[in-house]
Amino acid sequence: MARPEPIRFRRSTLGEDVYETLKGLVLEHSLSPGDRINIDALAREFAVSPTPVREALARLEADGLVRKRPLVGYTVSPLLTRAEFEAMFEMRLLLECASTRWAAERADTARREAISGEAATTVASEEDDPDGWHAAFTVLDARFHDLIAEASGNELLRDGINRLHAHLHLHRRYFPYAQASATTEEHRRIAAAILAADPDAAEAAMRDHLSSARERHLAAFD
């Protein structure tokens, strides 16, 4: 807990900036799951008053990233249990498959090509910074799935997927896995099916991808 950066920001409102910053701290594990969050301490650290911090925490709670016990305080949400993780992947399977199918059915040409382009992109292999590499890969993965969700044309679906992605990201940071090559190949297959406007193939490819990803991640629970 040593981040004595005053952090001078002012994009629009302090509450907004504190929210984004805090979200980043949680997602990159500068704040660990289970940690208690001292509002006054955070306020001092950010050189702001507790008021915008409270507002940011209220929003983070709605995202499920922090938990609140009234008159006691906030804590960073604990890591998913195995059961919760399985439930999360059930939900992902549901949402992502639909997202992919609809993208294959409805997306305009520009979006289809954008998805293919994203799938073709690979992370520069900086061997000297495995941690940074993993982060870059995660960003790439999130963007790929979000592009598909956007192409599905259903913003509620997109929101739901992104909401899950935050928790997936959280889990990944704790149990990084290195099988990125398989993931990239699976992404290419999905993108190809979407480009070909083949909903069945696209959904099947996404289903395979998520099933494989699920297996890869489940190893962390052993």
Partner DNA sequence: CCATGAAACATCCTATAGGATCCACGATAT
Partner DNA sequence: ATATCGTGGATCCTATAGGATGTTTCATGG
Binding residue (CB under 8 A) for a copy of itself from 66, 95, 104, 148 = 95
Closest approach of a copy of itself to the CB of residue 52, in Å: 9
Closest approach of a copy of itself to the CB of residue 13, in Å: 5
* Measured CA distances, 56 to 23, 29, 93 (Å): 9, 17, 30
What is the C-alpha end-to-end distance of the chain, expressed in Å? 29
Contact between 32 and DNA by CB under 7 A: the answer reads: no
Q: Which is nearer to a copy of itself, 103 or 164 (CB)?
A: 164
91 interacts with, out of a copy of itself, DNA, none, CB within 5 to 8 A per kind? a copy of itself
Contact between 45 and a copy of itself by CB under 8 A: the answer reads: no
Closest CA relative to residue 32, chosen from 1, 10, 68, 54: 1
Largest CA distance in the chain: 55
Find the DSSP H helices in 81-129: 82-106, 109-120
CA dist 208 and 151 (Å) reads 20
Contact between 51 and a copy of itself by CB under 8 A: the answer reads: yes
Residue type, 129: D
Residue ranges binding a copy of itself (CB under 8 A): 12-13, 15-16, 51, 54-55, 58-59, 61-63, 70-71, 84, 87-88, 90-91, 94-95, 98, 153-157, 160, 164
